[in-house]
């Protein structure tokens, strides 16, 4: 595989990309595929929708939206962990982000 484009992707997107090239993967790529199979929290389609919705309605940048989609935090405290000290965000905005994430959660 070669680098075609650089952008943040969700674990679900990585899984889909690797599965499409499963026949030609080297051992490291096979290990990454195994990881994606174990830790994907939503389908590729749902992950993409979640990232888009977090960016549009949640007002956050793509990098943070991808991290949230990969981990699917279940509480305000968990979301604040991703925001870090440098980002001050209102309780209302964090609750909005949590509501968006909860729409796409498949497991508790």
For domain 44-104, the question of CATH label 1.10.150.80 is answered with yes
Residue 107 has pLDDT above 90, yes or no: no
pTM: 0.85
Which among 99, 44, 97, 103 has a CA at the least distance from the CA of 70? Answer: 44
**7-53 confidence digits (pLDDT tens):** 999 999 999 999 999 899 999 999 999 999 999 989 999 999 999 99
Exposure pattern of 29-40 as b/e (b: 16+ CB <10 Å)? eeebbeebeeeb
């Amino acid at each position: 595989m070669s680098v075609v484009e650089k952008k943040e992707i969700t674990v679900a997107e990585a899984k889909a990309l690797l599965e499409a090239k499963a026949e030609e993967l080297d051992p490291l790529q096979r290990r990454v595929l195994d990881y994606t199979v174990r830790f994907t929290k939503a389908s590729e389609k749902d992950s993409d929708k979640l990232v888009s919705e977090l960016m549009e309605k949640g007002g956050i940048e793509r990098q943070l939206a991808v991290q949230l989609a990969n981990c699917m935090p279940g509480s305000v405290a968990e979301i604040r962990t991703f925001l870090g000290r440098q980002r001050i965000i209102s309780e209302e905005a964090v609750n909005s982000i949590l509501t968006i994430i909860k729409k796409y959660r498949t497991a508790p």
